[in-house]
Amino acid sequence: MTGQYKNCTYAVLSLLLLIIAGCTSLPVNPDRKQSTVITATTETGLGQSVARLTADKGNTSGFSPLIDGLDAFAARVVLTRSAERSVDVQYYIWHQDEVGSLLAAELIKAAERGVRVRVLIDDVGLGAPDAGLLSVDAHPNIEIRLFNPVVNRGWRMLESAFSFSRINRRMHNKSFTADNQVTIVGGRNVGNEYYDADPDVNFSDFDVLAVGPVVSEVSGSFDKYWNSDFSIPVSEIITATATPIDEVVGNIFDNEKARKNSPYVKAVKDSDFVDHIKNGTLPLFWGEAHVVYDEPEKLQQSSTNKENHLLTKLNPLVGDVQNEIIIISPYFIPGKDGVADIADLIKQGVSIKILTNSLASTDVGVVYGGYSKYRIPLLVAGAELYEAKPDPRIKRKPKKKTKTHFGSSSRSSLHSKVYTFDGEKVFVGSLNLDPRSVDINTEIGILFENKEFAEQISAWWDREITIHAYQLNLEIEEIDDDWEVKKVKSLVWLEHTDQGVTQHIVEPQVGFWRRVGVSFLAILPIESQL
């Protein structure tokens, strides 16, 4: 009897596994409703404001950097409240925290005014429960789609194992567009840590708000992803019983009301961005601008087929550089080919300056482990290499206004993705220089041609990089007759302070066991997934 029971159990489990394995492909629906950007928005309030700004600018676009987290959140709120026709939102992560709830409330209010709201979220980074998603999606002016979702919602881990090659590929894109008139593109997801709202950790991030012709390009990118076979309406894939919409919306609005007088909301109201909007003084840089992004089909291509990859599209620009490239990337794993390319550029007279996270500031230790093996080769090649400090006190200059504790978190982690070329062009977006961003996930960014802004980044680097980061250097033991490095004695971290320069022989501000753990991770054969 026991043997029969075991056989029956094995049979049921085998059947269950076969069912799950057979149901891991995305649903195909030829009747799925397609939609595109609403273009008739020139008469909206945003449209008229943008028309005044762009009246004498020809085909150039204007952009305003959003460096401060409070300003970045205020910008999204202002755009949502100003929208009259549409808001298109695309993100990798959306947390169900203070920032996530406040922004959700603003989008629901916009929908209540008759604004069409399209929300495209990567399924892995989604924080909301399925039942709540169904409820919000039921609003006649809101549609939510999940990108490359898990099909068996109750068996996520099991499906991820069976469909690893598909589930492993994610949408890392980030954009926020109102009325097809104003867009925000950059590195920020939706969550407290991206907007100075987390007292424990803050991601030092970077977005740009843009107007002009480049906005339509962002909308075109959004439409491609929205109508992709990888983007599945929640109503097609979620079978949970929807929470009554009134209850969900009521909870969101109750939370919003409770937070209305919170220190964070008050700080947002006092942000520089809000002041500029009220006074009509928002500074804009102007120049040619284009959106560069991975095609959504990247998720089904072999990693060797890189014709439509974002980095491939940028390669001609890199090849034309004559003087300087500045790389700011929180996760930086160049690989052997990348180090060789950097070395070739340096031999041609190009200065390569790199800022990435230190072990003390990174939020992903395994990525630091993958990067660590390339530090010495990069320095030997002649690159300037810096690692961001975790100390929030040097994160930004003091503002004129007195702010709350927001923005003074106990740990700051670099999350910006900014690249400059020859002090003339700037790329801002979601792209990290690591194998996952380059080969596995999809990314987006905007390439701006504006010498003034690019030179400002270069000037900041020359003036302040040693305040914000450790400088990596080599102690050389032997060089050859041509002054080429033959033997390295050690790698050192130089910390510049008012008292002078302190030299560290191991990663600063981390303990012994964290260094050991990351050293172990560095030898694992997982670089292609980092």
Which 3-state string (H, E, C) describes 73-92?
HHHHHHHHHHCCCEEEEEEC
Q: Burial, 250: exposed, middle or buried (Cβ in 10 Å; 0-12, 13-18, 19+)?
A: exposed
List CB contacts of 209: < 8 A, sequence separation 6 or more: 63, 64, 66, 75, 182, 183, 184
From 415, 425, 434, 468, active-site residue: 415
238 — phi, psi (to 5°)? -100, 125
Cβ atoms 187, 429 nearer than 8 A = yes
**Alpha-carbon distances, residue 301 vs 294, 296, 439 (angstroms):** 11, 10, 10
Closest CA to 457 of 413, 422, 498: 422
395 belongs to the catalytic site: no
Structure tokens at 68: 């401060």
Catalytic residue among 172, 298, 353, 395: 172
Which of 417, 425, 434, 468 is flagged as catalytic?
417
* Rounded alpha-carbon distances, angstroms, from residue 520 to 137, 212, 297, 489, 514: 45, 49, 35, 22, 10
179 annotated active-site: yes
Which residue, 450, 449, 416, 394, is CA-closest to 328? 416
- Check if 422 is active-site: yes
Separation of alpha carbons 27 and 39, rounded Å: 30
Residue 166 identity (one-letter amino acid): R
**Is 174 in the active site?**
yes
Q: Is 496 a catalytic residue?
A: no
Give CA–CA dist 402/399, Å, rounded: 7
| Residue 130 a catalytic site member | no
Residue tagged active-site, from 275, 363, 391, 422: 422
State the catalytic residue, choosing from 68, 88, 122, 174: 174
Residues recognised as catalytic: 172, 174, 179, 415, 417, 422
